[in-house]
Structures are given as C-alpha cells and as structure tokens.
C-alpha cells in the first residue's frame, strides 16, 4: 500500500503534527504507534504542565502560542490556570521571565509560606509568580488531536511496530501490520527517534533519553486543589495538587538505554532524603504511587523540527524534553508548515541542521 506521508509515533509530537497537517494537506496520511494505547510513554506519564516560564526563548514562545490555542479550544481541551511559583535565586529566576509575552512578578517568601503551608521550614530567597502557567488533561488533549486528525481522513494504526526501512527518498517501510510505501517519513518517535533515524539512514542527531520519576504523595496537611505548581530551581523539585495528594518530582534525569518504564528501586530513598533535608512539613507524607517516564532531548535541550540533511524526505519532530504537553499545538503547527514548504529550507527555530557540524 502507498501513503503520501507516514508519521511514526502517536504521542504529542506525532498526533499534533497529524492534526495540523490534515487541515491543509490533501494527500494520504498514516500514523503508526507501537503501543496499543497512544501516549503510553512520555506523552501519558508526565506532570501535565503548561510551563511558559522556561529559559529557552524559542520553547517559551512555542508554549505561549500553544496556551493561547488551548484557550480558544477550551470547551474541548480544558486547562487549569492555577499559575506557577518558581523558587530560587533571582539570577536563576530572571532567566524564566519574558514580560513581553506573559506577566510574572516576585512575591515575598513569607507570603508564599502562608499560602502553601507545605513549604513551611523550607528556605528560599525569592519566589516568581506567573499567573498564566498551569496544567492540562493530557489524555483529553491527545485524543483531541487524534480525533481531529481521524475526522479529516488520517489513518491511525495502533499496536504497529516499525520493523525495517528500505530505500532513499521513497521509503518501503515494513511494519507488524504490513508494508507501506511512502514519499515522506516523519520521525515523531520520542525516546525511539534515534532508532527510527538509524533504520532510515538519517543523520545522527544526539538525542538522549533520560528517565524521570514522578510520585503521588498523601499528607495529613490539607491540600488546596487550586494551588499553583511549585518548582524550586535551586533544590530541584516540583509539585502540584493531584487527586487529593501531591504530584511530586525530584527532577531526576538518568540517561538510559533501557526504554521500558521501570522504576529505580532506590528512587524512593532519594525522595525521602530531599524531603528530610528541605521540606520538613512533608516528612510524614506517604507514597501512594510512583512511576517513570522519559525526557528525550539533545545537548542544547531544545526541540528538533525539520528536514534531515542526510536522508531525503525524512522529517524530524523530536527532542521535546518534557515540553510536549505545553508546546504541542505549536510543535504540530511548525511541523505541518515545514512539511508543506516547497523550498524545504531549515526553520528559524529548532533546525536539525544545527547538529550538522557534529556529524
């Protein structure tokens, strides 16, 4: 069978690309996903944050543009705007601000201790408040993209493994559900993106998957569901309300070749050590749940979106590094625009060509 565009990966990168592409591209599009459930890995196991206050200016603009789109589709993709509190030294916090794009203001640490009692006993120099940060229902958002794409004719094959890629420019792709010929291969495979690129003879972009753990903690302290998410830049932890408890991360990033969502047996000890040293109000908290997910990014921690330099008709949408939820709308829009650009020029932001010197 033949399809004009084959997208590998059914997480936020692939789903949003299919969604936007289907609105203006008249050819046939097939999206394949190796799992039975889309978003089984990073797109479904993350902290659901819409984080505009981030250091990379290009990612910042992508999240701001995506957030505006989410607001316009709020009846279908509900989001919470409970805001964010970033804690730390002012020099670190200043890198997160962009007053041309969104409002942020400093708050008195004593005021923050009163607002969020779980921070009592935790020392920090400054608190940066961004009211328009928040979180998304990641399952609803992912299904919004996939249902929108399907409604405009995109085929979605779940439980479909990519086995082999042959050819240059025109690809013969063997999958567990049959062989597909395509004139354009889109690599939106997340932590598996480098494996897909290797099969297709594409450039070796230095994407590194890292494992991060998330916990749900229960505490005797009352947790207000309207609290903002709190991120300590100096002590490397963040938390937000979740199902009556706290969704908590110690911001661990362990480079890994094992792409199974396993849990490091020592991670709970690392959590206990951080809580004991930094968050005395949480010392009596109990662990309800723990899981891991992947954050895949290149050395500069920015996205990779655009045409490959080594393989013809091979397009990257990868390296989202934990920003897939917050920036997914703009990621898909940029990818769809790039795929339909007849000049195939490298984009102004996130170009794969920035790694060409390392080849």
Q: What domains sit in the chain, N to C, each tagged with a CATH number?
A: 2-44+138-207+300-358 (3.50.50.60), 89-131+208-294 (3.30.9.10)
Most confident option among 167-171, 283-287, 346-350: 283-287
Q: What is the pLDDT of residue 80?
A: 84
pTM of the full structure: 0.95
Cα–Cα dist 16/251, whole Å:
26
Read off the tokens for 209.
């998957």
Percent of the chain with pLDDT over 70: 99
Contacts of 55 by beta carbon, 8 Å cutoff, 6+ apart: 95, 96
Structure confidence at residue 357 (pLDDT): 54
What pLDDT, in 10s, does the model give residues 9-25?
A: 999 999 999 999 999 99
pLDDT band at 66 (very low <50, low <70, confident <90, very high): very high
Which residue, among 171, 128, 143, has the nearest Cα to 16 in the 3D structure?
143
Q: What is the mean pLDDT of residues 280-284?
A: 95
Rg of the chain over Cα atoms, rounded to whole angstroms, equals 21
Report the SS3 class of residue 190. Answer: helix
Complete DSSP assignment for 237-293 = EEEEEETTEEEEE----EE-S--S----TTHHHHHHHHHHHH-GGGTT-EEEEEEEE
**Nearest alpha carbon to residue 296 among 205, 164, 226:** 205
* Mean pLDDT value of segment 256-283: 93
Within a 13 Å sphere around the CA of 323, how many CA atoms are in the beta-carbon half? 33
**164: pLDDT strictly greater than 80:** yes
| Average pLDDT value for residue range 184-202 | 96
Say whether pLDDT at 231 is over 80.
yes
């Amino acid at each position: 069978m033949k399809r004009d565009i084959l997208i590998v990966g059914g997480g936020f990168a692939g789903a949003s690309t299919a969604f936007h592409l289907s609105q203006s591209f008249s050819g046939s599009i097939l999206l394949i996903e190796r799992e039975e459930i889309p978003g089984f890995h990073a797109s479904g196991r993350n902290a659901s944050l819409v984080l505009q206050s981030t250091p990379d200016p290009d990612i910042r603009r992508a999240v701001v543009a995506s957030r505006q789109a989410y607001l316009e589709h709020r009846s279908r993709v509900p989001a919470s705007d409970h805001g964010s509190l970033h804690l730390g030294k002012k020099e670190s916090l200043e890198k997160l601000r962009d007053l041309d794009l969104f409002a942020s203001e400093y708050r008195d640490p004593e005021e923050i201790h009163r607002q969020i009692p779980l921070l009592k006993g935790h020392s920090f120099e400054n608190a940066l408040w961004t009211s328009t940060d928040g979180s998304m229902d990641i399952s609803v958002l992912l299904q919004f993209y996939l249902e929108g794409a399907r409604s405009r004719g995109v085929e979605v094959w779940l439980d479909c493994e990519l086995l082999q890629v042959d050819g240059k420019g025109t690809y013969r792709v063997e999958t567990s559900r049959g062989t597909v010929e395509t004139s354009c291969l889109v690599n939106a495979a997340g932590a598996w993106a480098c494996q897909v690129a290797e099969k297709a003879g594409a450039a070796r972009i230095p994407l590194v998957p890292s494992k991060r753990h998330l916990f749900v903690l229960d505490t005797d302290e009352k947790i207000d569901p309207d609290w903002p998410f709190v991120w300590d830049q100096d002590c490397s932890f963040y938390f937000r309300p979740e199902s009556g408890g706290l969704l908590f991360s110690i911001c661990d990033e362990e480079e890994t070749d094992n792409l199974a969502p396993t849990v490091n047996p020592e991670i709970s000890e690392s959590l206990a050590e951080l809580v004991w040293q930094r968050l005395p109000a949480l010392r009596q908290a109990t662990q309800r749940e723990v899981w891991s997910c992947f954050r895949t990014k290149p050395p500069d921690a920015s996205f990779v979106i655009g045409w490959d330099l080594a393989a013809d008709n091979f397009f990257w949408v990868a390296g989202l590094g934990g920003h897939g939820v917050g920036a997914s709308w703009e990621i898909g829009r940029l990818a769809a625009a790039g795929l339909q650009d007849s000049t195939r020029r490298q984009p102004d932001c996130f170009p794969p060509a920035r790694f060409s010197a390392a080849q």
